[in-house]
Amino acid sequence: MTPAFRVAANSVTTYTILDHPLTNDDQDALLMVTTVATGANSKAFELFYAVASAKWRIYTLDGSAQTAGVSYNVLVIKQ
């Protein structure tokens, strides 16, 4: 399984859930995330591991909904 994948931003909420076999149930995974250059204005973001769902999330720092059309490149480094 390749450790790199792309995920589309959820433009309805302030976060996008990363639902991927390499990241699920692994709060110790190292994630490198960048926005994909698509012409859409991306917002500053941070990563957060939600223990209850055992999944990583990408949150907007300003608390607003994520921009429609934005995607993220994700590289997973297992420890």
What tens digit of pLDDT does each residue of 13-24 get?
Answer: 899 999 999 999
Domain extent for 64 = 4-77
What tens digit of pLDDT does each residue of 22-74 get?
Answer: 999 999 999 999 999 776 677 899 999 999 999 999 999 999 888 888 899 99
Of the candidates 65, 63, 20, the one whose C-alpha atom is nearest the C-alpha of residue 33 is 20
Tokens of 40: 């859409």
Q: Which residue has the higher pLDDT, 7 or 68?
A: 7
Specify the number of domains making up the chain: 1
pLDDT at 77 over 90: yes
Beta-strand runs (E) in the chain: 4-8, 15-18, 30-35, 45-50, 55-60, 71-77
Query: What pLDDT shows up at residue 11?
Result: 82
